[in-house]
Amino acid sequence: MLLLRPVRAADLSDLYELSLSTGGGLTTLPADRDVLAAKIALSEASFHSGSDALEDAYYLFALEDLARGKVVGTSGIFASVGQSKPFYSYRILKLTQVSHQPDMKVDTQLLQLVNDYAGATELGTLFLHPDYRKGHAGALLSKARYLMLAAYPGRFSEKIMAEIRGWTDENGQSPFWDAIGRHFFGMDFQEADHINGMGNNQFIADLMPKFPIYTNLLPQEAQDVIGKPHDGARGAVRLLMDEGFRNAGAVDIFDGGPCFEVPRHDIRTLRKARSVRIGAIGTLDVSPGSVSLVAVADMPDFRIIATHMAEMNEEQVAISQEAANALSVKEGDAVLVSPLVNRRKEEPVSQTTTSLE
């Protein structure tokens, strides 16, 4: 069984091993032990904090295969971005110019550097080991965070956003970066991506061109990838859209990946979340597809699984002994539950890889 729980200092080696599998581009999971250790420490402090203050809090979850005692995935929540330093993105704008002599109209697309997401909550650090990209693991990683938002609304913003990794070629190069950033900093995308992952990206953001960029002046290959997700991000995009996220008309300043956003109260998994008690533990009488998220919403030990669950009544559910063991619950304990699948027919999420930055 897979258990999603707060990351621990003892997970450092597993996280480093995971970071080597990302292929680059996942800036919040860099292949650097010191940086990862700092992220773990910040996450532990955030989970242990009794305060509802948003600034700089970072909640990093580890997906553990309990049978192996191995961390096989991560997902995270940045409580409030753009507070201590700007959180830049490019807003995609449309400019229409008209001339009556001769009679002509020209529509032009612009990229305007903005800090529109200051104070927003960002979802990120979503990565699942290739061996586990089947079944419910990807959906568990992504959607479990919404139960955290439901349980502790005071810790998060009303606006929830996510940056999707932008398109790169088979060599890991970004046409978007090559057309814009490379000209200002004299470094290729992989080097800029590495610096970004180390947390030293502010000088790049501060020195990016502040005036609007006319996209028709960019090479065609760069224009074609503005707002285009990485091939490995299709599953993550599908999961976001399923929850009610919409394309925000903004892109990442490094690779041109799309930004998605949603008001917190519109997230489907969050809206369907409810508090119940464990009424029974043992053999279940449930249909094969009835899988739910079940969470013990305690801090600092927030724990979530995806499991079959039987409704006993409006206030009680039954779960298996294996599920109870994973969550460390007994009959009478309170849990937070929500359906894992929002679609009428479940779709496998096999492409949830290095998608959310």
Q: Mind telling me the catalytic residues?
A: 230
How remote is the C-alpha of 346 from its chain's centroid?
A: 20
Rounded to 5°, angle at Cα 342 from 117 and 271: 55
- Give 132's DSSP letter: G
Q: Can you spell out the DSSP letters for 301-312? A: --EEEEEE-EEE
Lookup: tokens for 160:
């929830």
Beta-strand runs (E) in 120-257: 121-128, 159-163, 213-214, 246-251
Measured distance CA(231)–CA(120) in Å, rounded: 26
Taking the C-alpha atoms of residue 109 and residue 103, their distance in angstroms, rounded to an integer, is 20
Q: Which CA distances in Å does 328 have to 72, 320, 322, 334? A: 21, 12, 10, 12
- Burial of residue 150 (CB within 10 Å: 0-12, 13-18, 19+) is buried
> Which ranges constitute the DSSP H helices of 229-293?
234-243, 268-271
Mapped onto helix, strand or coil, the DSSP state of residue 63 is: strand
Q: 141 near 349, Cβ under 8 Å?
A: no
Rounded distance, CA 127 to CA 143, Å? 13
| Dihedral over Cα of 62, 64, 69, 71: its sign | negative
In sequence order, what are the beta bridge partners of 294?
A: 305, 337
Tokens for 34? 């010191």
Reported residue count of the chain is 357
**DSSP 8-state assignment for residue 356:** B
187 phi/psi in degrees, rounded to 5 = -135, 150
